[in-house]
Amino acid sequence: MDKFKLTNLKADLKKGRTEIMLYPSKCDGCEGEEFHACIKACEEHMKEKYGKYSGARVSIKKKNGKFFPVICHNCDEAPCVDACMPGARYKDAETGWTLTNYKKCVGCWMCVMVCPFGAIERVEGSHFASKCDGCIDEDVPKCVSACKRNALLRTGIKNYSYERRLMVAKKMYGPYVKMHYAGIIKDKRG
Amino acid sequence: MKYVIIGNSYAGLSCVDAIRRFDKTGEITIISDEPYKAYARPLISYYLEGKTTDETIWYKDDNYYEKNDARTMFGKTVSSVDTASKNVVLDDGSIVKYDKLFIGTGGVPFVPPLEGFNPASPMMGTFTKLNDAKKMEAASKVAKNKEAIVIGGGLIGLKASEGLRALGMHVTIVELLPRVLGLALDEISGQITAKRLNKNGIDTVTNDTVIKINLDGTGNPESVTLKSGRELIADIVVVGVGVRPNVAFLEGSGIKVDRGIIVDKTMMTSVEDIYAGGDVVVTYDVINKRPNIIAIVPLACEQGRIAGANMAGVYREYPGGMGLNSVEIYGLPIITIGLTNPNDPSQSVFTYQEGETIYRKLVYSGEILVGAILLGNIDGAGILSAIIRQGAKCLSYKDEFLKGNIFSFVIDNEFEIYNINEGYAIRGDFKDLPEFSRTNWR
Ligand SMILES: Cc1cc2nc3c(=O)[nH]c(=O)nc-3n(C[C@H](O)[C@H](O)[C@H](O)COP(=O)(O)OP(=O)(O)OC[C@H]3O[C@@H](n4cnc5c(N)ncnc54)[C@H](O)[C@@H]3O)c2cc1C
Ligand code: SF4
């Protein structure tokens, strides 16, 4: 089968239209180490960026030896934006990311109630709901550069959408799905 | 194309966003009877508590209306809609022409017949507008005995009580049902909530109601008489029983109304080119499987968006919504989703409780989860909402859920539960848009 080009990674990356792609099967919970590398990197970075509204935006959930990074999937019509009563969460028109104006957040937990990925954390002490902002102002998100196993990768939105569909299709139909296309992410670090 | 939006709140503005996503040039006019730019209505109690201020209560950015090239007509009330000649008539007699109309007029507070109640008094009122909150702020300053009575223990009554309490009043909620938030909470969670409230200076009188407000010489309240015969001192009386769809101005317009505005799957009313959404409509309730009025913010936004897309010529259907609620009672977060008080014996209920700090309840209909209460620990609540809304089978996870391991469902199923093509989460990829429609947003 001829390779055909469905996506335009370079153009997307240039315009900052990026997503963080998850490969949960690659995550081993940073075995043998004290901290999850992504969480630590995120924590440090968020403190720098948001000050009072710090805390890691990524978390690792575990079940029977299986690990799963929980992070914002940047929904197109994000339920958290719909549910946010004060209007603290909004869509950034340029990059398409779901961002947060923490000054407006009152801690009503409406977004926690609707996020289908459980990606929003209730920060009890300082009374706000924290969520990943995609590090769109960075070249590479901190969690992505921290992950040694490539379980978190930065990619352009078109690739993201495509890869996600492929992942689901593979899970449902297994080996019958064979797709070739140019530009599939081999190395995102650049 | 002339778009006219009645209602400058969640439903109306979400409709504006959707129209602008697909139609960059059409003329948009937003009409609202309140003099302000859009504010976060449910936050009026937080406003009294000081958790949001005159600077942060505004729902959108300051330049929102210019950015979206929308004409605003604030402080103007729509008195009728002439569907034959496609005109909106304002109370000053002026006329606004439309090609497509959106009605997002929300609700009007419901006041049961009550002797002595006079909303014109500075010490009495309802609690749904920013002006109401400001009125209460002023009232609390002149209250002699610092006693407030709130009639109704639903969401609005509860929020009003919290607000009044923060103003230094001692508050008594009088509720007809056996507990506060009677429709959403069950007995156990209701009891925990009531205890919390009582400890923080809000008394709860349940299974009772106010039959008369006793006035002093100046027409302000002095005390209230309850059905049970008790008399309570009252400087301030707030009626927070709930809201009814705001449809009075539609009489004679030909738009079909049955309690709320009746809409089809595209959020269009019975009259072509007129759409509606938010607290004012009757929507399909996916849990109870019947039309229902569900007055909450997330649904107002969803419905506004579906209507807006259709108005701009992009066909979309609304699958229906369900009741959801999130409150925090003095540090104790409570989330209720879907059906929480089942009365069908074929439905099974599972609960887990740790004293008064953690409580979880799951309601299953066969293998399908149809409702949940999470109290104390709300991590991953949204996953349950997604499961419930989609009707995914998950009886085998009930023990995990009860223990609070809600994420276990996602770990096992990875992304599968979120059907990407029909889209719950990545919902933008609907049929009528070009492939990879996500780029259209940008
Ligand atoms: C105190 C309080 C607490 C709440 N707490 C929650 C909560 O915790 N969670 C939750 O989900 N929901 C909550 N709600 C409900 C929430 O506020 C509503 O669901 C939401 O505001 C509905 O939005 P809407 O756009 O449909 O209508 P509304 O917000 O009611 O807005 C209606 C708009 O229409 C305009 N309008 C009405 N009539 C006319 C007319 N004749 N002419 C011109 N303009 C008109 C009004 O000015 C207003 O701009 C709460 C409500 C209150 C009052
Ligand atoms: S926080 Fe959750 S609901 Fe909001 S955009 Fe991210 S994944 Fe979607």
Please tell me the predicted confidence (pLDDT) of residue B431. Answer: 34
Strands A89-91 and A66-70, by their bridges, are unpaired
Which domain CATH number covers A59? 3.30.70.20
Residues 58 through 97 of chain A touching chain B, CB cutoff 8 Å: 61-63, 66, 68, 70, 73, 75-77, 79, 81-83, 85-87, 91, 93-96
Is residue A38 assigned to a domain?
yes
Residues 107 through 126 of chain A touching chain B, CB cutoff 8 Å: 107-118, 120-122, 124
Please give the Cα distance from B109 to B87 (Å, whole number).
27
Strands B358-365 and B347-354, by their bridges, are antiparallel
A 10 A CB-CB count for A15 gives 16
Is residue A189 assigned to a domain?
no
For residue A188, the Cα-to-chain-centroid distance in whole angstroms is 14
Is residue A166 assigned to a domain?
no
Has residue A188 got a pLDDT over 50? no
Please tell me the predicted confidence (pLDDT) of residue A176. Answer: 54
Is residue A171 assigned to a domain?
no
- CA of A34 to nearest chain B CA: how many angstroms apart? 22
Cβ of A96 less than 6 Å from ligand 2: no
Please tell me the predicted confidence (pLDDT) of residue A165. Answer: 66
Q: Are B6 and B273 in contact (CB under 8 A)?
A: no
- Please list the residue range(s) of chain B that carry CATH number 3.30.390.30: 331-440
Task: Write out the two tokens for B350.
Answer: 């599972």
Please give the Cα distance from A26 to A96 (Å, whole number).
27
Query: Which ligand neighbours the alpha carbon of B247 most closely?
Result: 1
Query: Which ligand neighbours the alpha carbon of A132 most closely?
Result: 2
**Count: domains in chain A:** 1
Q: What is the pTM of this model?
A: 0.89
Which residue among B301, B424, B428 sits closest to A82, beta carbon to beta carbon? B301
Q: Which atom of ligand 1 is nearest to the CA of B277?
A: 26
Cβ of A79 less than 6 Å from ligand 2: yes
Is residue A179 assigned to a domain?
no
Q: Is A130 on the interface with B (CB under 8 A)?
A: no
User: What is the predicted ipTM?
Assistant: 0.88
List CB contacts (< 8 A) between B309 and chain A: none
Please give the Cα distance from B226 to B116 (Å, whole number).
13
Percent with pLDDT over 90 in chain A: 35
Please tell me the predicted confidence (pLDDT) of residue A9. Answer: 74
For residue A39, the Cα-to-chain-centroid distance in whole angstroms is 12
Question: Which residues line the pocket of ligand 1, CB cutoff 6 A?
Answer: B 6-12, 31-34, 41-42, 44-45, 77-78, 104-107, 127-128, 155-156, 159, 246, 249, 278-280, 295-297, 300
Has residue A184 got a pLDDT over 90? no
Has residue A10 got a pLDDT over 90? no
Check A86 against B14: CB less than 8 A apart. Answer: no
pLDDT tens digits, residue range A20-43?
A: 888 888 888 888 787 899 999 999
- Please list the residue range(s) of chain B that carry CATH number 3.50.50.60: 2-108+250-311, 124-241
Is residue A169 assigned to a domain?
no
More confident residue, A68 or B430: A68
- Smallest CA-to-CA distance from B404 within B364, B440, B354 is with B354
Which residue among B380, B405, B428 sits closest to A76, beta carbon to beta carbon? B428
A150-163 average pLDDT score: 78
Q: Are B180 and B153 in contact (CB under 8 A)?
A: yes
Return the SS3 of A168. helix
Q: Whose CA is nearest to atom 4 of ligand 2?
A: A80
Is residue A71 assigned to a domain?
yes
More confident residue, A167 or A156: A156
Please give the Cα distance from B220 to B368 (Å, whole number).
52
Which residue among B14, B56, B324 sits closest to A113, beta carbon to beta carbon? B324
Please give the Cα distance from A153 to A6 (Å, whole number).
19
pLDDT classification of A187: cutoffs 50, 70, 90? very low
Q: At which residue do the structure tokens 């209602």 appear? A: B7
Please give the Cα distance from A74 to B441 (Å, whole number).
13
Is residue A182 assigned to a domain?
no
The domain of A77 spans 16-157
Fold of B2-108+250-311: FAD/NAD(P)-binding domain (3.50.50)
Domain B124-241 classified CATH 3.50.50.60?
yes
Please give the Cα distance from B249 to B246 (Å, whole number).
8
Exposure of B228 by Cβ count < 10 A (0-12 exposed, 13-18 middle, 19+ buried)? exposed
Q: Where are the alpha helices (DSSP H) in chain A?
A: 9-14, 37-50, 79-83, 110-114, 142-146, 157-173
Has residue A17 got a pLDDT over 80? no
Please tell me the predicted confidence (pLDDT) of residue B57. Answer: 94
Please tell me the predicted confidence (pLDDT) of residue B233. Answer: 95
Return the SS3 of B205. strand
- Smallest CA-to-CA distance from B102 within B197, B7, B24, B180 is with B7
Q: Quick one: closest CA in B to A65, which residue?
A: B411
pLDDT beneath 70, residues of chain B: 414-442
Percentages (nearest 5) of helix, strand, coil residues in chain A: 30, 20, 50
Q: Is A167 on the interface with B (CB under 8 A)?
A: yes
**Homologous superfamily, domain B331-440:** FAD/NAD-linked reductase, C-terminal dimerisation domain (3.30.390.30)
A 10 A CB-CB count for B91 gives 12
Please give the Cα distance from B374 to B385 (Å, whole number).
11
Please give the Cα distance from B436 to B238 (Å, whole number).
51
Cβ of A37 less than 6 Å from ligand 2: no
